[in-house]
């Protein structure tokens, strides 16, 4: 590779590889530039650890003439034989380049290297990607050239790897920020925060279907069961709801102990309100069925049924930043949220799991029955309440 061509690739990396929109594109474009410059790479892998509750790390694999394959490894991966015997593991552990000439007939004792040799790889390089925070990730580069990599080619790759590490760190930090915001505040809220809506008081009116649920008898369970059992129960309980909420297009805004607040935004003109409410109702039935199958097992006693209450409503909410000067919460407030909270409190006394306001029930009318008007705290007039026809329950005295 000429010095000018090397400098061109290095300048592209220093400038942020702006032509590559994502990590897969970055790997692909870098490899294509190296091949066009005469470096005989046939396969390149990049492995970056992540800050994610379910993902240990992400991999990007490029092969000559093929699209980049993206993969994710869970937290069991570091203990596998594949990783423990991989040159990547050695490069990460020693923070030095590792080289294996696979044309030599030596015992490898590495699943990765045996697989590479079977593919016809002749030379294997692994480089550490050292981030500025001290964390170590890795990249590997392989060729099928009979003579392997020339020393000059290894020198070129050694010059490019530190720049790749800096760029990978920047891209990883961006992805980490998005992941953490998605995990802790939801994807729509996270997008708003990243877009700069971080000032206290920044808010907008949002028309949405509202989901507010609560685990019935949680205080008594918390008092009776070991704390770790309670945490496990809550996680399993929320797992019964969150997937269905997300599938229906909703966003979980908040976990409040055993409570859950989610919203399903509608179009400004309300043209999709009926469709959204129908999807929410499907999610509600899925969650009800999943929770019904849960059991809270207390040591030395049989499984105890877990029950919940859910209120569904449609209305305007104020969606934005609320809180103290140095601690903000992106949440929803307003009479519509308050009404949903009050309706949820009625579920236990009515012996029902799911209740709805007239505004919500009107969009899926055949699924609901009018069970009367009830006084609710904070509202001057009694509120009409609807229950699902497939649930039987008692009736509170109407006001």
Residue 296's pLDDT band (boundaries 50, 70, 90)? low
Q: Are 13 and 167 in contact (CB under 8 A)?
A: yes
Where residue 334 falls (left for φ over 0; alpha for ψ -120 to 50; beta otherwise) is left
Mean predicted confidence (pLDDT) in 255-282: 89
In this prediction, residue 51 carries a pLDDT of: 78
- pTM strictly above 0.85: no
Dig out the tokens for 286 from the structure: 């899925």
If pLDDT is split at 50, 70 and 90, which confidence band does 195 have?
Answer: low
pLDDT of residue 399: 33
Residue 77 pLDDT more than 50?
Answer: yes
Domains and CATH numbers, the chain: 3-185 (3.30.450.40), 195-388 (3.30.70.1230)
- Residue 25 CB burial class (10 angstroms; 0-12, 13-18, ≥19): middle
Q: How many residues does the chain have?
A: 399
When comparing pLDDT for 223 and 84, which is higher? Answer: 84
Q: Which residue has the higher pLDDT, 264 or 174?
A: 264
List pLDDT tens digits, range 12-64: 999 898 898 889 999 999 999 999 999 999 999 999 988 777 788 899 999 99
- Report, as an integer, the average pLDDT of 352-356: 93
Q: Specify the pLDDT at position 396.
A: 39
Is the predicted pLDDT of residue 132 greater than 90, yes or no? yes
Query: Residue 205 contacts by C-beta under 8 Å, 6 or more apart in sequence?
Result: 316, 317, 318, 319
With cut-offs at 50, 70 and 90, classify the pLDDT of residue 179.
confident
Q: How confident is the model at residue 3, as a pLDDT? A: 81
**pLDDT for the residue 218:** 78
pLDDT at residue 205, as a whole number: 80
Q: What pLDDT was estimated at residue 398?
A: 37
Query: Residue 100 has what pLDDT?
Result: 92
> Which H helix or E strand runs over 163?
helix 151-185
360-392, pLDDT tens digit by residue?
Answer: 999 988 899 999 999 888 888 888 999 999 886
Q: Output the pLDDT for position 107.
A: 58
Taking only the tens place, the pLDDT of each residue in 223-263 is 777 888 888 888 889 999 999 999 999 988 888 888 999 99
Average pLDDT over the chain reads: 85
Intra-chain end-to-end CA distance of the chain, in Å: 86
- How far apart are alpha carbons 59 and 69 in whole angstroms? 8
In this structure, are residues 343 and 210 in contact, taking their beta carbons and an 8 Å threshold? Answer: no
pLDDT confidence tier of residue 125, bands split at 50, 70 and 90: very high
Q: For position 300, what pLDDT does the model report?
A: 42
């Amino acid at each position: 590779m000429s010095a000018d061509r090397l400098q061109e690739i290095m300048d592209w990396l220093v400038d942020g590889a702006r032509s590559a929109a994502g990590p897969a594109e970055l790997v692909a474009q870098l490899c294509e530039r190296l091949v066009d410059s005469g470096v005989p790479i046939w396969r390149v892998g990049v492995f970056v650890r992540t800050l994610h509750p379910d993902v240990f790390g992400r991999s990007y694999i490029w092969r000559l003439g093929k699209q980049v394959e993206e993969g994710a490894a869970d937290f069991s991966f570091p203990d596998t034989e594949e990783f423990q015997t991989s040159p990547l593991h050695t490069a990460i552990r020693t923070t030095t380049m590792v080289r294996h000439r696979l044309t030599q007939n030596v015992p490898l004792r590495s699943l990765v290297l045996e697989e590479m040799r079977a593919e016809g790889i002749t030379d294997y390089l692994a480089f550490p990607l050292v981030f500025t925070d001290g964390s170590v990730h890795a990249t590997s580069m392989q060729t099928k050239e009979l003579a392997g990599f020339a020393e000059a080619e290894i020198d070129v790759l050694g010059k490019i790897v530190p720049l790749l590490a800096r760029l990978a760190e920047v891209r990883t930090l961006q992805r980490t920020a998005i992941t953490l915001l998605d995990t802790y505040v939801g994807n729509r809220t996270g997008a708003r925060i990243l877009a700069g809506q971080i000032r206290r008081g920044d808010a907008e009116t949002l028309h949405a279907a509202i989901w507010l649920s609560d685990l019935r008898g949680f205080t008594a369970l918390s008092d009776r069961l070991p704390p770790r059992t309670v945490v496990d129960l809550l996680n399993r309980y929320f797992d019964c709801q969150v997937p269905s909420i997300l599938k229906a297009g909703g966003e979980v805004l908040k976990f409040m102990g055993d409570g859950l607040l989610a919203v399903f935004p509608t179009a400004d003109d309300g043209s999709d309100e009926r469709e959204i409410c129908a999807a929410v109702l499907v999610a509600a039935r899925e969650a009800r069925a999943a929770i019904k199958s849960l059991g809270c097992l207390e040591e030395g006693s049989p499984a105890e049924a877990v029950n919940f209450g859910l209120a569904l409503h449609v209305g305007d909410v104020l969606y934005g930043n609320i809180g103290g000067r140095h601690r903000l919460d992106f949440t929803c407030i307003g009479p519509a949220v308050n009404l949903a909270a009050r309706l949820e409190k009625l579920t236990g006394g009515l012996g029902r799991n799911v209740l709805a306001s007239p505004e919500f029930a009107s969009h899926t009318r055949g699924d609901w029955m009018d069970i009367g008007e009830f006084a609710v705290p904070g509202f001057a007039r009694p509120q009409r309440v609807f229950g699902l026809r497939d649930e039987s329950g008692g009736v509170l005295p109407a006001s």
